[in-house]
Homo-oligomer: A and B are copies of this chain.
């Protein structure tokens, strides 16, 4: 029976799923043709048809990570501060799927940091992500839900907070169940709303002038 286009597409989906599973359990360091073949219950020979080299496999895996990150469902719960909270909740490992995805992102940092092209690409991606958070911070400020202050600095802080919480949760999921992650994020957001604008603090002149 001749192979149809449908067979080909189905096979590609299977390969993608196998690559994803290997990354989620063994990380990029464990991503080999042999491991993907074992996950697929196929021969490494078949895999070389898709990935002629280790580099091709890694590039495919990085593309897959980006595509799945773009395609993931997102919260759309409100405007202003609620929208900022949604964007940060979307990053946290609150579900099994989000945990796999975060684990793969963290795993990819080693490869990305050792490759100048990838490193530049990651820097750009994180800067874009901060820009999107900056827009939401500015919107929350316009609504009066956040006090004044450089929205870009607040966005950097928020991104730092969630990235660090992701890392701590991946290593110690028992200590950071979803409810605790959300509680910690809400604590963080409440410190932002209580934040005093540093520019309004009276600076004391060392010579005693007002």
User: Taking beta carbons and an 8 Å cutoff, which residues of A are in contact with B?
Assistant: 25-30, 103, 106-107, 109-114, 119, 122-123, 126-127, 153, 156-157, 159-165, 167-168, 170-172, 175, 183-184, 187-188, 190-192, 194-196, 198
**7 extra interface residue pairs, beta carbon distance < 8 Å, beyond A113-B171, A157-B188, A163-B167:** A28-B29, A109-B167, A127-B172, A159-B164, A160-B164, A160-B165, A191-B195
Instruction: Evaluate contact between B153 and A187: CB separation under 8 angstroms.
Output: yes
Cβ–Cβ contact B170 & A156, under 8 A? no
Which of B27, B111, B162, B194 is A114 in contact with, Cβ under 8 Å? B27
A106 lies within 8 A of B114 (CB) = no
Interchain CB contact (< 8 A) of A156 among B26, B111, B157, B184 = B184
Q: How far is the CB of A133 from chain B (nearest CB, A)?
A: 12
